[in-house]
């Protein structure tokens, strides 16, 4: 597997994101070593909160949430998925599979950082990967927060707006990362914020991860990941793990998943699930501070 690494100078002068970069080397199942970038905020001995981003963003997406979580006494950990942010980037689209992304994050969180008592916060692909981690490693988790995400199996159709995004990524000769993030926000992003989303990708060679991800979503019942996601649903719907849905009010892609998760997850029963007004798909951008307050309140209520 050929890996690319974004030059450090691409990450200079990022707005409101002066957290020192941290790195973890993980062993890939095929014998290589992959460097994963991440940032942390809050006390090292605080309850760990694992913040997983999605497509095509990176940990920069959580910059509004990190200080709120840290001030609440939580250890907030925001890694970059392999292929994104400061993490190494497999150069070929074929190097990216759903199973590999789940395994890469498992090795990072549990074999390398040895996290226990974790609260997952997953948005977009962060939920697709994170909910698999919960299902397959339930002893490591204290709770889960689903924020504009789901766990598709391909047994139900994907919305038309998702297919439009899927097709746009496939057809784009130049993948405009900043524009795609902006299209999923209700607020207008300043130029320097859009540039920060472009920063991990100096040119098209670095964009195999963002190009691959839409094609990895189990959109049909025979997708290679469908069976694993069905198994995850089977486990999660029997797992009495505290579960919070914190969706925005304006995400046509994942919005319909909120009532399904609330109904099917045992740990969601009897809980007040916030709907964050004014948030698009990337609710961390639009209503990040409010989302962080909901997460902090939820985690504090676990003790």
**How many C-alpha atoms does 166 have within 13 Å on its Cβ side?**
13
Compute the distance between CA of residue 5 and CA of residue 24 in angstroms, rounded to an integer. Answer: 14
Compute the distance between CA of residue 282 and CA of residue 60 in angstroms, rounded to an integer. Answer: 12
Compute the distance between CA of residue 45 and CA of residue 74 in angstroms, rounded to an integer. Answer: 8
Tokens 């109904």 appear where? Answer: 263
Compute the distance between CA of residue 97 and CA of residue 103 in angstroms, rounded to an integer. Answer: 10
Catalytic residues: 124, 251, 281
Nearest to 166 by CA among 233, 214, 235: 214
> What is the four-CA torsion angle of 172, 174, 175, 177, rounded to 10 degrees?
-150
Compute the distance between CA of residue 144 and CA of residue 130 in angstroms, rounded to an integer. Answer: 9
């Amino acid at each position: 597997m050929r890996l690319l690494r974004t030059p450090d100078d691409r990450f200079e002068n990022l707005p409101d994101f002066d957290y020192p970069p941290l790195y973890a080397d993980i062993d890939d199942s095929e014998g290589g070593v992959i460097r994963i970038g991440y940032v942390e905020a809050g006390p090292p001995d605080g309850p760990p909160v694992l913040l997983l981003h999605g497509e095509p963003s990176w940990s920069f997406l959580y910059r509004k949430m990190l200080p709120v979580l840290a001030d609440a006494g939580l250890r907030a950990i925001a890694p970059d998925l392999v292929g994104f942010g400061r993490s190494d980037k497999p150069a070929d689209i074929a190097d990216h599979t759903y199973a590999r992304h789940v395994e890469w994050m498992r090795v990072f969180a549990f074999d390398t950082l040895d996290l226990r008592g974790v609260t997952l916060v997953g948005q977009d692909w962060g939920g697709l990967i994170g909910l698999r981690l919960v299902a397959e490693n339930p002893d490591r988790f204290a709770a889960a927060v689903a924020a504009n995400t789901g766990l598709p199996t391909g047994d139900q159709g994907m919305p038309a707006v998702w297919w439009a995004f899927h097709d746009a990524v496939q057809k784009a000769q130049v993948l405009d990362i900043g524009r795609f993030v902006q299209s999923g926000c209700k607020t207008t992003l300043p130029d320097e914020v859009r540039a920060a989303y472009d920063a991990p990708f100096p040119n098209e060679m670095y964009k195999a991860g963002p190009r691959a991800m839409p094609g990895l979503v189990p959109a049909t019942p025979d997708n290679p990941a469908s069976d694993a996601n069905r198994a995850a649903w089977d486990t999660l719907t029997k797992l009495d793990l505290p579960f919070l849905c914190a969706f925005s009010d304006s995400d046509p892609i994942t919005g319909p998943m909120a009532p399904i998760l609330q109904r099917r997850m045992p740990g969601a029963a009897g809980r007040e699930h916030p709907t964050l007004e004014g948030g698009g798909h990337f609710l961390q951008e639009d209503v990040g501070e409010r989302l962080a307050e909901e997460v902090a309140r939820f985690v504090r209520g676990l003790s």
